[in-house]
């Protein structure tokens, strides 16, 4: 069973039960969207109600609610955007509002990727996404072109590098804030700051290749397996070791642990007001979601 939860005063508040197949989530303004790859459905949680917002979308993995658009990556490795209209949708089916904006051919640049992080950089209109198995962050431009933005394709390690070539290990997620991209370099147990225009790395949260759960400033902190990065009002929220919600003040790169879950946290997002939502997985409890 899975629950959609909200973090309130460092405690979890269960909002509703969600299908076990839900994989990822995002928020746009005050609504939360959840994707189910197996069902081909995007759910919408709004005003205390969980609805089927859009269906017939195969294998949605990456999903991002930046501004008034949601960007999705489907099982056939095509990218789409779905415009969020200013009204409630219940079971919006077919290809309505669906537009292909780029694709990755399985026989060339990125064969059969599993995209864990997906984010649209509003300033440039570029979509960035992380592919852990290829140890790199890629960018999809408006013309459909795909290039390596950070790391080196199929080369794992840790280094600073130049022109974005510093090595990464299983980057699990990314987030952008103005001209900066934060990369969850999970295999190296750090979160790295990356300047998009300059194509170079900056500060680092955690100690490279040393895992742990220690709060502190920059190198004094320790991370285990950071993922699901989301920023709001100069605070970077993330999941660590699938059990902890931690937050870092972006200006000082000071990390604090906000919450420890008794089960497993699978995804996290923040809405326009800075509310933190997350998916809690409880494999020991049978789901009672009506079919």
Domains, in order of start, for the chain: 2-281 (2.120.10.30)
Give the model confidence (pLDDT) of 7-54 as tens digits: 999 999 999 999 999 988 999 888 999 988 888 888 999 999 999 988
N residues, the chain: 291
Is residue 126 predicted with pLDDT exceeding 50? yes
* CB 27, CB 270: distance < 8 Å: yes
Per-residue pLDDT, averaged over 99-117, amounts to 50
Q: Would you state the pLDDT for residue 176?
A: 92
Phi, psi of 170, rounded to the nearest 5 degrees:
50, 60
29-33, 92-96, 264-268: which has the highest mean pLDDT? 264-268
Q: Would you state the pLDDT for residue 168?
A: 96
Q: Would you state the pLDDT for residue 71?
A: 60
Helix, strand or coil, per DSSP, at residue 291: coil
Give the model confidence (pLDDT) of 223-250 as tens digits: 999 999 999 999 999 999 999 999 999 9
For residues 19-45, b (16+ Cβ closer than 10 Å) or e, as one string? beebbbbbbbeebbbbbbbebbbbbbb
What is the rounded average pLDDT for all residues in the chain? 82
Q: Would you state the pLDDT for residue 29?
A: 84
Give the model confidence (pLDDT) of 137-161 as tens digits: 988 776 666 789 999 988 999 998 7
Q: Would you state the pLDDT for residue 143?
A: 63
Strand order in the sheet with 98-103: 63-64, 69-73, 78-83, 98-103
Q: Would you state the pLDDT for residue 28?
A: 85
* CB 215, CB 257: distance < 8 Å: yes
106 dihedral zone (left: phi>0; alpha: psi -120 to 50; beta): alpha
Q: Rounded to two decimals, what is the model's pTM?
A: 0.88
Residue that wins the pLDDT comparison between 120 and 83: 120
For the ranges 74-78, 120-124, 183-187, 204-208, the lowest mean pLDDT is seen at: 74-78
Helices (H) and strands (E) in the chain, counts: 0, 25
Q: Would you state the pLDDT for residue 285?
A: 60
150 Cβ neighbours under 8 A, 6+ residues apart: 136, 137, 164, 166, 168, 171, 181, 183, 194, 199, 201
């Amino acid at each position: 069973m899975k629950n959609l939860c909200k973090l309130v005063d460092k405690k979890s508040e269960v909002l509703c039960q969600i299908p076990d197949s839900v994989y990822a989530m995002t928020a746009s303004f005050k609504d939360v969207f959840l994707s189910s790859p197996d069902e081909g459905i995007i759910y919408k949680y709004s005003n205390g109600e969980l609805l089927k917002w859009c269906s017939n979308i195969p294998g949605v993995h990456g999903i991002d609610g930046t501004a008034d658009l949601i960007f999705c990556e489907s099982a056939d490795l095509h990218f789409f955007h779905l415009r969020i209209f200013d009204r409630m949708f219940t079971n919006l089916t077919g290809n309505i509002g669906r537009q292909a904006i780029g694709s990755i051919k399985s026989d060339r640049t990125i064969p059969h990727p599993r995209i864990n992080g997906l984010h649209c950089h509003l300033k440039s209109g570029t979509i960035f996404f992380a592919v852990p198995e290829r140890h790199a962050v890629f960018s999809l431009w408006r013309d459909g072109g795909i290039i390596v933005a950070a790391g080196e394709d199929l080369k794992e390690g840790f280094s600073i590098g130049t022109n974005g070539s510093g090595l990464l290990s299983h980057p699990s997620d990314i987030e952008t804030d103005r001209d900066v991209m934060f990369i969850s370099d999970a295999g190296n147990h750090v979160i790295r700051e990356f300047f998009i225009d300059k194509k170079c790395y900056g500060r680092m949260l955690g100690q490279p290749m040393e895992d742990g759960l220690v709060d502190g400033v920059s190198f004094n902190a320790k991370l285990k397996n950071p993922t699901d990065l989301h920023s709001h009002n100069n605070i970077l929220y993330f999941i660590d070791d699938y059990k902890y919600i931690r937050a870092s003040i972006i200006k000082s790169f000071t990390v604090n642990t906000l919450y420890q879950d008794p089960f497993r946290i699978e995804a996290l997002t923040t809405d326009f007001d800075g509310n933190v939502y997350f998916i809690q997985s409880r494999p020991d409890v049978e789901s009672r979601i009506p079919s």
